[in-house]
Amino acid sequence: MLTTNPFDVSQDGDTLHEECGIFGISGAADAARLVALGLHALQHRGQEAAGITSFDGTEFHTHRAMGHVAGNFDREEVMVPLRGSVACGHVRYSTTGETALRNVQPLYADLASGGFAIAHNGNISNAMRLRRDLVRRGSIFQSTSDTETIIHLSPLPITVRSSTSSSTR
């Protein structure tokens, strides 16, 4: 697993190394368009890839792509399907997982209780151990991102989550 320390002064002096950017909007018409603007402002935090997931009250809509926000979210054929008054987005600077479309966030899953989208900034320190436990329990992972462990943990009953978490300490 690759990791970086945003405060590592050995890389190029005492500058901050920012990792990823997240932007969300709720209760605004065309929320995805506002998220795209927010991600554009956060582009310096991640230039590897970008993604937006919106919710229209019934369905989730997602577009994820490698590269910058501009060039991926500046076309009507991309933005029109991202309808809804709720949206979240992510610009990626990889610290874990490979550089591939399958790791671009927001990640999305259909659960028994409904859809679930997540954009996360940071590293989950025990992600590999959690992933092994979840795979043993039958989880099937679609990415190599540590963020996906959150999706697999969320539908589990609290007693199972607690035993998974405590068995990994």
User: Is 88 a residue of the active site?
Assistant: no
User: What's the rounded Cα separation, in Å, for the pair 142 and 51?
Assistant: 16
Burial call 68-81: b when 16+ CB within 10 Å, e when fewer = bbeebbeeeeebee
Q: Do 79 and 89 touch, CB atoms closer than 8 A?
A: no
In the chain, the amino acid numbered 157 is P
In the chain, the amino acid numbered 65 is A
Closest to 32 (Cα-Cα) out of 41, 23, 19, 21? 23
For residue 51, count CB atoms less than 10 angstroms from its CB and return exposed for 0-12, middle for 13-18, buried for 19 or more: buried
The catalytically annotated residue of 4, 5, 13, 20 is 20
Torsion from C-alpha of 87, 93, 97, 98, nearest 10 degrees: 110
Active-site annotation, residues: 20
